[in-house]
Amino acid sequence: MTKIKIPVELPGIRNIAISGRIGTGKSTLAVNLAKELRWNLIDAGKVFRQIAKEMGVDIKQTDKIPEAIDRSYEDKTVALFKNEKNNIVQSHLAGYLSRDIEDVYKILVVCDDEEGEDKASIRIDRLMNRDVISAEEAKSDVHNREESLINKFRKLYVQDDQNWVYWDKKYFDLIVNTFSLNQKEAVIFVLDNLFNKL
């Protein structure tokens, strides 16, 4: 007999957006939270990797992915946030794209030390372990690909504003710091905050 998985209802929250820099743990949090809430998980990174593969483009060559794909992703994501429910969307831009949509709960995942400084070394180590890649490849992802992404997003969305970042805390309802929280603690922290809103 198959168990029917009924989604957990969160009054006032139709969807959840999860964003963060490369290697902060946003994908892991999204997967674990989707299991707990029994919501659909939409991982934009996987979508983009598949599109890039089909086009014969290396996902790390951000500048070679046509703008039309980004715009299509943007339109589909905004439509999903507005018209569907019980989805967790994990992407760099999920928080930014849902910034003006009230019933989307926006979570930013960071990896910051006690002084609020980003711990790139930990993010690099996580990528090495997750993707089973060399330190050089992981450093390139965290530094070069991230820089390429931010430059592309600035041109696409904010008239090349050099001060803009998609991880600006003003776009988010909750900040989850994976420097001080492990995977299990991060999910508990989010659930506590979600249910305290009820």
- Over range 171-178, report the average pLDDT: 98
pLDDT beyond 80 at 1: no
Question: pLDDT confidence of 113, banded at 50, 70, 90?
Answer: very high
pLDDT beyond 90 at 198: no
User: d(Cα 62, Cα 82) in Å, to the nearest integer?
Assistant: 27
Domain residue spans of the chain: 15-118+167-180
Q: Are 149 and 160 in contact (CB under 8 A)?
A: no
Q: What is the pLDDT of residue 24?
A: 97
Q: What is the pLDDT of residue 12?
A: 93
Q: What is the pLDDT of residue 64?
A: 67
- Over range 187-197, report the average pLDDT: 92
User: How many helices, marked H, and strands, marked E, lie in the chain?
Assistant: 8, 5
Q: Are 7 and 37 in contact (CB under 8 A)?
A: yes
pLDDT beyond 70 at 102: yes
What mean pLDDT value characterizes the chain? 90
Q: What is the pLDDT of residue 191?
A: 97
Q: Are 51 and 67 in contact (CB under 8 A)?
A: no
User: d(Cα 198, Cα 194) in Å, to the nearest integer?
Assistant: 7
- Over range 109-133, report the average pLDDT: 94
Q: What is the pLDDT of residue 189?
A: 98
**Which token pair is 127?**
């990528």
DSSP summary character for residue 70: H
Question: pLDDT confidence of 49, banded at 50, 70, 90?
Answer: low
pLDDT beyond 60 at 10: yes
User: d(Cα 169, Cα 162) in Å, to the nearest integer?
Assistant: 17
Give Cα 167 distance to the centre of its chain: 10
CATH 1.10.3720.10 fits 15-118+167-180, yes or no: no
- Over range 154-163, report the average pLDDT: 95
Q: What is the pLDDT of residue 95?
A: 97
Using DSSP, state whether 45 is helix, strand or coil: helix
Q: What is the pLDDT of residue 179?
A: 97
